Structure 1
Amino acid sequence: MRRVEIIANIASGSVGADAPAVAERILAEHGVAGTVHTPGGDLSACLRKVIDSDPDAVFIIAGDGTARAAAEMSGPDGPPIAPLPGGTMNMLPRAFYGDRAWPEAMEACLTQGTPRMVSGGEISGRLFFVAAILGSPALWADAREAARAGKLRLTALRARRAFRQAFSGRLRFTLDGRPKQKTEALTLMCPLVSSAMDEDELALEAAAVDPSNAIEIFRLGVSALTGSWRDDPSVSMGRCRLGKVWAAGRIPAILDGEPMRLEPEVQIRFRPKAFRAVALPA
Structure 2
Amino acid sequence: MANVASGGVDADAPEELKKILADFGVSAHVFAPSTDDLTNCLRAAIDSGPDLLVVLAGDGTVRAAAELCGPDGPVIAPLPGGTMNLLPHAIYGARSWQDALSAAMAEGEVRMLGGGEVEGRHFLVAAILGSPALWAPAREAARYGQLTLAWNRAQRALRRAFTGRLRFALDGGPRDKALALSFLCPSISRALDTHAPALEAAILDVQGVRDAVSLGFHALRGEWRDAPAVEARPCRLARVWAAEQIPAILDGEAVRLTSSATVRFEPNIVRVLSLPAGLGDA
SS at match of 2:234: strand
Contact 2:87/2:187 (<8 A) preserved: no
Deviation of the 1:175 alpha carbon: 1.6
In structure 2, runs of 5+ residues without a counterpart are: none
Contact 1:176/1:242 (<8 A) preserved: yes
Pairing of 1:84-163 with structure 2 (within 5 A): 84-163=79-158
Spell out, residue by residue over 1:53-104, the C-alpha distance to the aligned partner (whole angstroms, 9 max, x if none).
2322111111221111001211111111111111111121121122212112
Q: 1:279 maps to which residue?
A: 274
Contact 1:137/1:217 (<8 A) preserved: no
Pairing of 1:65-76 with structure 2 (within 5 A): 65-76=60-71
CA distance in 1, matches of 2:216, 2:118: 21
Q: 1:3 maps to which residue?
A: none
Q: Which of 10, 15, 25 is the matching residue for 1:16?
A: 10
Q: What's the C-alpha RMSD, in Å, of the aligned pairs?
A: 1.7
In structure 1, runs of 5+ residues without a counterpart are: 1-6
User: Which moves more between the two structures, 207-216 or 167-176?
Assistant: 207-216
Contact 2:119/2:261 (<8 A) preserved: yes
Using the size of structure 2 for normalisation, the TM-score is 0.92
Q: 1:37 maps to which residue?
A: 31
CA distance in 1, matches of 2:122, 2:166: 20
User: Does residue 46 of the first structure (1) align with residue 32 of the second (2)?
Assistant: no
CA distance in 1, matches of 2:198, 2:186: 7
- Could you tell me the percent identity over the aligned residues? 56
User: Which moves more between the two structures, 263-272 or 223-232?
Assistant: 223-232
Using the size of structure 1 for normalisation, the TM-score is 0.92
CA distance in 2, matches of 1:136, 1:213: 15
SS at match of 2:5: coil
Deviation of the 1:235 alpha carbon: 2.1
Deviation of the 1:227 alpha carbon: 6.1
Q: How many residues are treated as equivalent by the alignment?
A: 276
Q: Which of 59, 62, 69 is the matching residue for 2:57?
A: 62
Query: 1:75 and 1:63, CA in 2 relative to 1: closer, same or farther beyond 3 A?
Result: same
CA distance in 2, matches of 1:195, 1:175: 19
Pairing of 1:89-238 with structure 2 (within 5 A): 89-224=84-219, 226=221, 228-238=223-233
